[in-house]
Amino acid sequence: MDPRMAFELSKRFQNAKDLSFKRKLEIIVGDFLKTELPYFDVCISNTPYQISSPLVFKLLEHRPIFRVAVLMFQKEFGLRLCARPGSKLWSRLSVNVQLYSKVSHLMNVGKANFRPPPLVESCVVKLEPLNPPPNIAFNEFDGLTRICFNRRNKTIRASFFASTATLNMLEANWKTWRSQQQSDSAIVTDQEEGENFSAKLETILQESGYSDSRSAKMDVDDFLSLLACFHKHGIHFA
């Protein structure tokens, strides 16, 4: 908690007559991102805007899963959290957060509600984690969406073939996976050994049905299906 807020709360409640209430209040002064969070059911935050993204993902990683969070963010960031496929604000942030939670826009908060007024508009959103969460490794899903949203209005095929670095990374991951299969006594055929990776990637994209799709219009389930198709062929993103 911000030291100034901690001081105000301490001053407000130090003379509280309800002792049972005082016993339930614990004020922790420190860096939220570096603090080990205790159990909680509800989180309410006027979020420091510069840590909006890491704060959201720290909350979503927290276990046990909380019930709801009501959070204030810079308006553009909050609307990106709530964005839907096909909208201008649908982004990697949107799909990554909505993989693990239901996000709702509650209200906008104008500059005039703050003293001194900030330079940006704000909004309040509600975050409800999915329980149970999907059994997906986040770094795998994030690796996929990082590639796809690098060119959100281009086809998925174009996103994957746009960068030699991306192709090299995926091929290296595939070869690592393949060597692990060999060590587990799996048989790698001569055809697999000499297979051209670009051709393999082209085949996988066609098989997935998403080769000509665009990230800007794909929803969470679409990305999960695409990821599953890559995993089926031993291609990983982390």
Q: Known binder of ligand: residue 150? A: no
CA distances from residue 52 to 84, 98, 207 in whole angstroms, order as listed? 19, 15, 37
Contact 116, 214 (CB under 8 A): no
Q: Known binder of ligand: residue 31? A: yes
CA atoms within 13 A on the CB side of 234: 17
Contact 83, 89 (CB under 8 A): yes
Q: Strands, E, within 95-138: which ranges?
A: 101-109, 122-129
Q: Known binder of ligand: residue 218? A: no
Measure the CA–CA gap between 54 and 72, rounded to whole angstroms: 14
Mark residue 234 as left, alpha or beta (left: phi above 0; alpha: psi -120 to 50; beta: remaining). left
What's 90's DSSP letter? -
On the 0-12 / 13-18 / 19+ scale of CB atoms within 10 A, 69 is buried
Measure the CA–CA gap between 95 and 131, rounded to whole angstroms: 17
Residues of each annotated binding site: 1, 31, 46
Residues of each annotated binding site for S-adenosyl-L-methionine: 1, 31, 46
